[in-house]
Amino acid sequence: MQTRLNPYLSFKDNAREAMEFYKTVFGGKLTMSTFKEYNASQAPSEDNKIMHAVLEADNGITFMASDTPDRMEYKAGTNYSMSLSGDNEAELKSYFEKLSIGGNVTMPLVKALWGDTFGMLTDKFGVSWLVNIEGQKA
């Protein structure tokens, strides 16, 4: 699979509403998972927040979103990230390493709850990056 670059939007607590709206605009397939579904809630108030949403329109437009967990700061105007995903492990690890030079790794590339390898960083220009290396599908 070819590596994909997609925008990733962060919301305080209305990702579900926003993504449902975007689906009416762009059409396509919308999938959403909550923090509770991944056993990632750290408080009952997070149970129904969206941990990950993906909208894939028929014309190729794809973007992702999530709600901000209570323990993380939400700052309007900085609520976006760039998301790299695919199954080319060497390529994606190389991007992660190069983007982290002079920046700050906020989560090293590690095995994630959903089975893929995932990491986060902020590059030296202040841009947030999410890297997801897809694991083998059963």
The residues, ordered by sequence, that sit 6+ positions from 27 with a Cβ below 8 Å of its Cβ are 57, 58
Tell me if domain 1-71 and domain 79-138 are identical in fold: yes
Three-state DSSP class for 120?
Answer: strand
Residue 138 binned pLDDT confidence (cut-offs 50, 70, 90):
low
Query: HSE of 57 in the Cβ direction (CA atoms, 13 Å)?
Result: 15
Q: Does 21 score more than 60 pLDDT?
A: yes
Q: CA dist 15 to 39, 48, 73, 136, Å? A: 18, 11, 16, 29
| Bridge partners of residue 1, in order along the sequence | none
- The CATH fold assigned to 79-138 is 2,3-Dihydroxybiphenyl 1,2-Dioxygenase; domain 1 (3.10.180)
Average pLDDT score, the chain? 89
Higher pLDDT, 119 or 42: 119
Per-residue pLDDT of 39-86, as tens digits, reads 887 788 889 999 999 999 888 889 899 999 888 888 777 778 888 888
On the question of pLDDT at 27 being above 80, the answer is yes
Is the Cβ–Cβ distance between 47 and 35 less than 8 Å?
Answer: yes
Whether residue 70 contacts residue 44, with contact meaning beta carbons closer than 8 Å, is answered with no
CA angle 20, 22, 26 (to 5 degrees): 120
- Cα gap 113→12, rounded to integer Å: 22
Say how many C-beta atoms besides its own lie within 10 A of residue 43's C-beta.
Answer: 11
Q: Which residue has the tokens 């998972």?
A: 33
What are the structural domain ranges in the chain? 1-71, 79-138
- The fold of the 1-71 domain, in CATH, is 2,3-Dihydroxybiphenyl 1,2-Dioxygenase; domain 1 (3.10.180)
pTM: 0.69
